[in-house]
Every structure is written in C-alpha cells, then in structure tokens.
Structure 1
C-alpha cells in the first residue's frame, strides 16, 4: 500500500501534524510506504518523522499565504505565487501520476491541505482524504478582491475528496464530505526531562522555564528585553531571538520544540495549530501574540481561550518586553481537548487503506 501525501509547504505546522499521524500509522501498518510530496526540506521532515521511514517527492501543491514576517501576511506576493503555481501544476500532475502508476501498488491519497491534490484523484481514481483544521477557501475569501475566485477554486477542489479528517481548533470546512473529528494531533516526546536538562545544562524549576518561538520565519527581539525577566530561563529554536542574552538557551537543531516543552511551564508564540496542540498536550500555558492578516488566527485565539490556560499579548507588548510572565494564567472557559487525535486519524487512514487495497 502506497500512502501518497500532498503536504503543504505553507509552514512547519502542517508537517508536524502529518508526521504525528503517519508515525501512528506506521506503528499500525509498518509495511506501508509513506511518500511525502512537499517542498518542505529533507532535514525538517527527518526530524519530524524520527525513526519512521519515508520517501520524499519534492513537489509544491499549494501556496497558502506568503508571510511578510512571522506575524504578518503579504497579499501581493501570495497572488503572484498562486498564479505561478497554477502554471506549473499541469506538468507536475503528469509527472506524479506517471510515477505513482509506475509503483504498481494500491494508493491512498492524503492531503494537508493542498487543494491541487484533487487533480491526482481525478487522474488516478484513488480515494483522497483531506486532513486539516481549515481549507484555503476560508483563508482566501476574507482577503477579498482577486482572492475570491481562488477561494471558490479551492472549495470546488475540496468537494472532490472522499472524506475529511477534521482536526480540532478548526474553521468551517463546508465541503459536503463524510467528516471524522479527532482530538489533538500532537506527537510524543522522544527523550526524558532529565535528558533535556542534562544536555542543556539547566537546573531551574519548570515554572521559571519559558519556550519562545514564532515558526519557521523566526522573529528578532532586542537583547535587552530578556534582561527584563532575569529570573526566567528562555529556550528558543531561532538563534535570532537574542541568543546571546545570558538567560537564553538555543534548543539543539536535532530536537523538536515538543521535546523541550517537557521542562517548560509556558510558551510565548503566535497563533499556530501544531504549537497549540503540542503545548496543550504537555500542559503548558500559552502567551499568545496577536497576528494580523490571516483568517485562522482569530479562530485559534478564540479556541485557545476555550480550551487552554493562556494570556493574550499584542505585538507592541511583545516588542516592549511586556510578556506578563509574572501574571497568573487565565483559565479556559470550556473543557480540555482529548490528546489522542494522531492515533484516531491513523486508525481511520488504516481502515481507508485496507478498503482501497481490497477494492483493487
């Protein structure tokens, strides 16, 4: 069985989510081939997948939203990238259809959450499972103007799928498909808190250890801001986040943020699905920095207030060092989310794959 995944290159969160699910699927079906078709790098995917074997097809299936920086969008660059991708897709579809057919195996298509995967379903007749907490249709439509036709284009593509694995913290996905809701799709740490503290040379209490990160683009902050919080130790994945400050430690590149979350009490971050999943699954409070220009951001912000301990910050507060680490976390207004979404999604994919194999 060939599991061919059209994986968004919009951000690392899509890759982290897919990796957590495929890791569980590999445990259920270790002989199935996992093929990741994505512009995400081999290094990132190898870190995300760990010991799970996979094959990489370097393809771009969607654009998402081009970011001006970690907290802002670039609509003009996004439109240009959408038009460029549309010109490239026909040749890519030809190449990938030929490659998949040459494998002479039953295939199950999974997309997170690139609408162009519908082209593979049309050509191959294989089942196509979408997985996500939003589609690009609901991201593009509020951007208005030239984005509205793109939103409609995405919506029509999504409606051609077989089923939807609906992740939590989600936006509306009105695609008319059978939907399987799942819990938090977080991975599992690969080392112990003791191993983490020993390697980093840290011995401070968890309540004074803070993770800070803003995704793949990173964000630079002034050295002096960390000096406003001398009794706290900050862990950062991006060396640009004032790594020379005495109370800042750079997370080793062979660790995911999930590893170090085990020794942290809070994370300062932007709205991000996978970061939220991992933080909530590890019991961290989230200091959320407001993000403009991306329709998912207010939905995630509202979901965080329902399901997680939190504090809300403006960008101005972040850049002024007003991080509120001395303030108690606000309690969620609703119930916590279940933490077994990756296993639930994997079980659904297993059932769909077995059915596809049987039908051949």
Structure 2
C-alpha cells in the first residue's frame, strides 16, 4: 500500500501536521510505503518526519496565499502565482500519476489541502481523503474577483473526495462529504540534546518561545530587553540577537521540543502552533491578524480551549507583550491531543476497505 500525500506549500504548519499523521500511519502499518509531496525544503520535512523510508516528491500542488510577511497577505501576488501554477499542473499530474503507477501498489491520496489532488486521485482511480481545518474556497472568497472564482473552482474539487478529516479550529468546509472530527493534530516533543537541556533548565526566568512560522517576522531585538525578567527562545536565524535574555535554538530543534520547558508562546495565529502549544499547556500570546479567514476560527478556538492573551499589532511592535499579566482563562475545556492518531486510523481503514476488502472495519467513508 502506498499513501501519497499532497501537502500544501503555503507554510510549515501544513507540513507539521501532515508529518505527525504519517508518523502514526508508519506506527500502525510499518510495511506501507509513504510519499510526501511538497516544495517545503527537504531539510524541514526530514526534521519534522524523523523517520527513514519516506519518498520525497518535490511538487507544488497549490499556492495558498502569497504573503508579504507572517501577518499580511498579498492577494494580487496570489492570483499571479495561481495562474502560473495552473500552467505547470498538467505536466506535473502526468509525471506524478506515472510515478505512482510505476510503484505497482494500491494507493490512497491524502491531501492537505490542494484542490489539484482531486484530479490526481481520479487519474489513479484511488480513494481521496482530505485533511484540514479549512479549504482555499473559504480563504479566497472574501477577496472577491478572480480569487473568489478560484475559490469556487477549489470547492468543486473538494466535493470529489471520499472523506474529510476535520481538524479543530475549522471553517465550514461544506463539501457534502462523510467526515470525522479530530482532536489536536500534532506530534509529540522529542528529547533535547543533553547540553541544550542543561542550558535551558538552568535558566531561572520564565521561558517564552517566540515564533512566527516559516516566513518569520522582523523584531526589534531591543524589545527583548524590555523584559529582563523573562528569557526568550528563538528559532535559528542568520545572526544571534545581542541580548542576554535570548537563546537561539540550534537547527533541527522544533518549537514543540522546547514547549515542555516554556510557560508562554509569543507569535501569530497558526494552526500547528496552537495545537502544539495547547497539547503542552503553554499559554499563548497572539498578535492579531485580520486578512485571512481562518484566523476567526483559530481565535474562537483559542478563547474556548487555551489560556491566552491577545495583542494588537501596535502593541506587539511597541513591545507591550503583557508577559507580566496573568493569562485570560479558557472558557471551555482543553481539546484532546490525539488528532494525528485519529486521522491515521481513518486513513488506514479507508485504504484497507477500498483495496483489501476488510469487512470488519468500522469505516466512515
């Protein structure tokens, strides 16, 4: 059996949750083959997957939203990128369908959440499982014009699937498909190298992880000095900030790996960040964003399920990060952190029912 994943190249968040699901599929069916198809850098994917034997297929299946930075979208740039991709997709579909057929195995197409995956599954006569908390149809619609039309085309593709695995913090995704709702979709922390663990545990101030996804965001390093009673952990960058209360993490260390040592996270609204931080009970300081439809669902879920603080862009830029203030308590209960396992179980069942006739499966699709 081959599980072929079409993963959005919009950002690292899709890759992070997809890697967590593939890890569970490997645990459940060690003999199955896995293919991860994306243009996210191989080094990032291998760090996220942390397992051998996954075929890396370098393909761009969607554009998502072109962004000026971690907090601002570029609608015109998005239209241009979609139109350029549409010219490349026919040959890419031919190439990947041919490669998959050459493997000589039954295949299930898993998609998060490029619409073009529907065409690939149709060519292969393969089951198609969508995994997401939104589709590009609802992201594009508010921009109107060409993007709205592209969103309508995306919705037509989404309606051709066999099953929707609905992640939390979700938009409507009204595609008329059988669906299963999931808990938090994320991996588990890995043990830190002993030297790094010793350094982090020796820090006496409260630890704050700072992260704005793959695009990052420029931060005036002097702002960290406004918070001398806190210590900040940052992802690797070109140069280390000249601040005594900042530690730059080594390459290959995920934010998730240091969350067990952190009290709070400072960053943007982001699905994978929310899932990972909530799974480790880390408080979230979230900088507002208003031009991406997913954000409203993310913030609604944040208020219900996690202790948090909201920051305006102006407050963030001024260094008014409220780290000395108590977190605002969640209005509801925490979400279960088993979403990646739930997704893997449903994918396994769907593949076995389609290709291996397994009448004992309790299958949704």
Q: TM-score range by the shorter chain?
A: over 0.9
Contact 1:196 1:260 in 2 (8 A): no
Once the 2 structures are TM-superposed, how far is the Cα of residue 125 of structure 1 from its aligned partner? 1.0
Partner of 2:149: 149
What is the alpha-carbon distance in structure 1 between the residues aligned to residue 91 and residue 337 of structure 2? 40
- 2:84 is matched with 84
C-alpha distance after superposition, 1:80-122 (max 9, x if no partner):
0010111111111111111111111000000001110001122
Q: Could you give the per-residue CA deviations for residues 143-186 of structure 1, whole angstroms, max 9, x where no partner exists? A: 11211110100000000001011011111110100001110011
Q: Distance in 2 between matches of 1:55 and 1:185?
A: 22
Q: Which residue of 2 aligns with 1:158?
A: 158
State the alpha-carbon separation in 2 of the partners of residues 29 and 286 from structure 1: 35
Compute the displacement of 1:196 (Å): 4.3
Aligned with residue 267 of structure 2, among 240, 255, 269: 269
Q: Secondary structure at the match of 2:90?
A: helix
**2:361 maps to what in 1?**
none
Tell me which residue corresponds to 1:307: 305
Q: How does 1:182-331 map to 2 (within 5 A)?
A: 182-191=182-191, 196-198=196-198, 200=199, 202-205=201-204, 208-239=206-237, 243-331=241-329
Do the aligned residues in 2 keep the contact of 1:62 with 1:114 (CA within 8 Å)?
Answer: yes
Match of 2:67 in 1: 67
What is residue 36 of structure 2 aligned with on the other side?
A: 36
Residue 363 (structure 2) aligns with: none
Aligned-residue RMSD, C-alpha? 1.6
1:225·1:320 contact (CA, 8 Å) conserved in 2?
Answer: yes
Note the alpha carbon deviations across 1:162-213, whole angstroms, 9 max, x for none: 1011011111110100001110011011106976431x455134x7100000
Instruction: Indicate conservation of the 8 Å contact 1:9/1:60, yes or no.
Output: yes
What secondary structure, in the 3-state scheme, does the structure 1 residue paired with 2:26 have?
helix
Q: Is the 8 A contact 2:236 2:250 kept in 1?
A: no
Structure 1 outlier segments of 4+, above 6 Å: none
Q: 1:358 — aligned with what?
A: 356
CA distance in 1, matches of 2:223, 2:273: 23
2:340 to 342, 349, 353: 342
For the Cα contact (< 8 Å) 1:221–1:241, is it kept in 2?
no
Question: Is residue 185–residue 277 contact of structure 1 (8 Å, CA) maintained in 2?
Answer: yes
Q: Does 1:106 align with 2:106?
A: yes
User: How far apart are residue 220 of structure 1 and its match?
Assistant: 1.5
Structure-2-length-normalised TM-score: 0.95
CA separation of 1:70 and 1:288: change in aligned 2, threshold 3 A: same
Would you say the 8 A contact 1:218–1:240 is kept in 2? no
Say if 1:62 and 1:116, in contact at 8 Å, map to a contact too: yes
* Structure 1 residues 278-319: Cα deviation after superposition (integer angstroms, max 9, x where no partner): 000000000000013111112211210111100000111111
Structure 2 CA distance for aligned equivalents of residues 188 and 334 of structure 1: 23
Q: Which residue of 2 aligns with 1:332?
A: 330
8 Å CA contact retained: 2:236, 2:251: no
Secondary structure at the aligned position of 1:110 is classed as strand
Paired position in structure 1 for 2:51: 51
* Contact 2:240–2:248 (8 Å) recurs in 1: no
Task: Classify 1:102/1:194 alpha carbon distance in 2 versus 1 (closer, same or farther; 3 Å).
Answer: closer
Q: Residues 4 and 109 of structure 1 are in contact (CA less than 8 Å); yes or no, is this contact kept in structure 2?
A: yes
Which residue in the other structure is 1:4 paired with? 4
Q: Is the 8 A contact 2:65 2:78 kept in 1?
A: yes
- 2: CA distance, partners of 1:238 / 1:158: 37
